[in-house]
Amino acid sequence: MAMQSGNLLRNHGRFVTSSMEKKEQALKAHEEMTSTEEPHQEENTAAEEARDAEGRVEKTDGNGISTSSAYQIAASAASYLQSHTKSILHFKSSKFMGNENLPEETGEIENNVDMINQDVASLMATTDSVTAVVSAKEEVKQAVADDLNSARSSPCEWFVCDDDHNATRFFVIQGSESLASWQANLLFEPIQFEGLDVLVHRGIYEAAKGIYNQILPEVHTHLKSHGERTRFRFTGHSLGGSLSLLINLMLLIKGEAPVSSLLPVITFGAPSIMCGGDRLLRRLGLPQSHVQAITMHRDIVPRAFSCNYPNHVMEFLKAVNGNFPNHPCLNYQKQLYDPMGEFIILQPEENFSPNHHLLPSGSGLYLLTCPETDASKAAKQNRVARAAFLNSPHPLEILSDRSAYGSEGTIMRDHDMNSYLKSLRNVIRRDLNHIRKSRREHRRKVWWPLVTPRGFDAGVLLSRPIISGNKGQGQFHFSGLLQSGKESFKRLSKLVAPQHMHLFVVLWFPARWLIFGFCNLINFH
């Protein structure tokens, strides 16, 4: 099914291209070229390809399995189990796993035994899959890295569209939906980023290299068309957010785009993928606000690589993979990767997902900030507050809850792209209503005395308080670092629309819908 640009940005922008459109064009060109060849040329080509394939036969282990195949099997197992496992019971329930002492009444108990066997088997298989990837030989991981670099196995689809009013080109990268995305996620060992003294998640970095090469022509074309007015906005959900961040930085480091053209990156529910990311921003002359990481209050994905790892997990990683023993984040912070940039917490309505105990009640966007004048002290307090939030709840606590799994589980609820979309819309709608009500009250205060008879006390009618956006504001402070979520719309406006630019909130839908769009909002001064 081809993407119809008429359905995209019908009134608010212009669709340019997408990874799916590129693939379709490449396939059509290949078919046309093949159809024009002579039969004997086709035979010769097929023979040459066969000989090339024989020459590229990968090294196999003693069992005759190729190295990349072994990795793909592990990734396939993890992907399958993640999509099919509905619940995982505590290990204490494994007392039913033996069949020798089962009572005669086998009805409900036998069903429990089957379910427990399946759950424990799923847990063990998933653990074995991750272990196989982490401890794989270098040739296996390099084969997967090469695969992630290629256009045919890119883990995420991407979309490009333009706002011609301000010469801004938007690059939107979707989240994890394919086997290739599992390959990228599982290859999480640290390697150097662009030859600098900063470590990055290897799998996501390799995937970013592949997408970078695909979108670079779109960057060059836009720069040529608009010159100094050119602006680029990168954004994405989940894995797509992490890829957007890396590609944005790569354009600057490689000198393909000037710093003035790169607007802040906005990510939604993206995992942390760098150790020393804030240091890299300073080195590149970028403010911390260049990365706006929006995180749902209970989303497990942003916590996955940034929570405190138990000692036995740390020792295991160091023992099976040579890149972990000297990993500074693991050694000094007990985590794989640091969050970077500004950390913004999105709390939805309580009837959708329970409020976080470290946040005030009510929905909003909350920014972790520090009033401390000393920069080093402020950074330290921010790190402490961020760590407290990311470990509460800890990913292991989320995974131990049986209600976390399945299409209706809490993991899907708090990470799904549609949850972010719905929650942001509710926050924007609430704050817009608050702004309109404030303006109405202001107009009444200004004009009412001019039209009322002398001696009439207008204050009697105007004494009603303006409704606050959140309940309990000012009564709770998260380590003294939580900036109120009352004016979330203003905050979102500043993130997305600096310097009085038209406000566009980039929202997208899964690839299976083949549609994404912008929500065009009013200018707010």
Count of CB atoms within 10 A of residue 110's CB? 14
The rounded distance, in Å, linking the Cα atoms of 201 and 10 is 37
DSSP string, 438-464: HHHHHHHHHHHHHHSPTT--GGGTT-S
Look at strands 504-508 and 516-520 and give their pairing.
antiparallel
| CA dihedral for 86, 92, 94, 95, sign (positive or negative) | negative
Read out DSSP for 457-511? -GGGTT-SPPPPSSTTTTS--STT-EE-STTHHHHHHHHH-GGGPPPEEEEE--G
Supply 329's token pair.
């984040």
DSSP 3-state of 522: coil
Residue 217 preceded by cis peptide, ω within 30: no
Comparing C-alpha atoms, which of 276, 390, 382 is closest to residue 329? 276
Give the strand order in the sheet containing 190-192.
Answer: 190-192, 199-201, 274-275
3-class DSSP assignment, residue 265: strand
Q: Which of 19, 79, 238, 493 is catalytic?
A: 238
Active-site residue among 147, 163, 278, 299? 299
299 is annotated as an active-site residue: yes
Is 238 part of the annotated catalytic residue set?
Answer: yes
Identify how many contiguous H helices and E strands the chain contains and give both numbers.
17, 14
Q: Residue 86 gets which letter from DSSP? A: -
Alpha-carbon gap, residue 258 to 446, rounded angstroms: 48
Our answer to whether residue 83 is catalytic in this structure is no
Question: Which residue in the list 129, 415, 419, 488 is annotated as catalytic?
Answer: 415
What SS3 class is residue 343? Answer: strand
Q: Which of 229, 208, 233 is nearest to 290 (CA)?
A: 233
Q: What residues act catalytically?
A: 238, 299, 415
